[in-house]
Amino acid sequence: MSQFEKYGVSIYEVIIKTMKYFTMKNSFLLPTILCMLFLTFGCNNEDDNVEPVVEAGFENDADGWTITGDAQGGSNLEASYSPFEGLDNSGYIFAEDNVTGGVWYFSAPQKLLGDLSAYSGGTMSYWLIQESALDDQFDDRDVILENEDNRIYYQYEEATSFPDTTWTGYTLRMVASDRWFNDDDEPASNEEINAVLSNVTNLYIRGEFQDGSDTGGLDQFVLRAN
């Protein structure tokens, strides 16, 4: 909301009224005033210029996301959906761990995958939540991206980075760092990251962090190019 809108007047009304006034006065100041208005209110937020091309907010359903691993007795089941209690009480997806072994992940639908080269150097962000005793957390690969020939994974810095029992936000930059690894558990180079991003066939986000039973949720997945 702009400063004018707070007073029940839109920015456009202000511009039009200003134009009319100065047109009547035939003032040379008109272009200057319009430029100032545009600079002040036309670009009020730099983030508006960053277009997330890939986004999943789960407003209506699980949107094709599945669960892979042991949760709920099998792999590639559709994620459970809740229309509320997600971020800002919006919809989100979740799974319950039935503790049959293995580690379960949220798996992104194919429509969000493929050539993601545009996001090299950009960010992947999402929110996680867990419902568990939080007393027996374990390390594992936290985010996995792969195709037929390549696999990279991201590992959070430490267990304190694990999701809390309230929504916990994550932002991963898609460049070589000490948190991205290749399948040999060596730090992944930018070439290795880009080789996966050029054709992503699977994208997994870890949903369970607790040995034994737990429930994990995911909301507001976004890829940004910068």
Binding residues for Ca ion, rule: CB under 5 A, are 57-58, 86, 90-92, 97, 208, 210, 214, 219
How far is 40 from 49, CA to CA, in rounded Å?
Answer: 15
Phi, psi (5° rounding) for residue 202?
-140, 140
Helix (H, G, I), strand (E, B) or coil at 14: helix
Q: Which is nearer to Ca ion, 167 or 181 (CB)?
A: 167
End-to-end CA distance of the chain: 25
Contact 18, 33 (CB under 8 A): yes
Minimum gap (Å) between residue 81 Cβ and Ca ion? 10
Instruction: Provide the minimum distance between the beta carbon of 5 and Ca ion in the complex, in angstroms, as a whole number.
Output: 26
Are the beta carbons of 191 and 182 closer than 8 angstroms? Answer: no
CB of 92 to Ca ion, least distance (A): 5
Closest to Ca ion by CB, 5 or 55: 55
CA pair distance 175, 202, nearest whole angstrom: 18
Q: How far apart are CA 223 and CA 148, in angstroms?
A: 22
- CB closer to Ca ion out of 142 and 219: 219
Closest chain position to Ca ion (CB): 90
Looking at beta carbons only, is 88 or 191 nearer to Ca ion?
Answer: 88
Task: Round to whole Å and give the CA distance between 59 and 78.
Answer: 16
Shortest approach of Ca ion to residue 54 CB, angstroms?
15
Tell me which DSSP letter residue 69 carries. Answer: S
**Identity of residue 27:** S
Q: Which is nearer to Ca ion, 188 or 218 (CB)?
A: 218
The least distance separating Ca ion from the CB of residue 187, rounded to whole angstroms, comes to 28
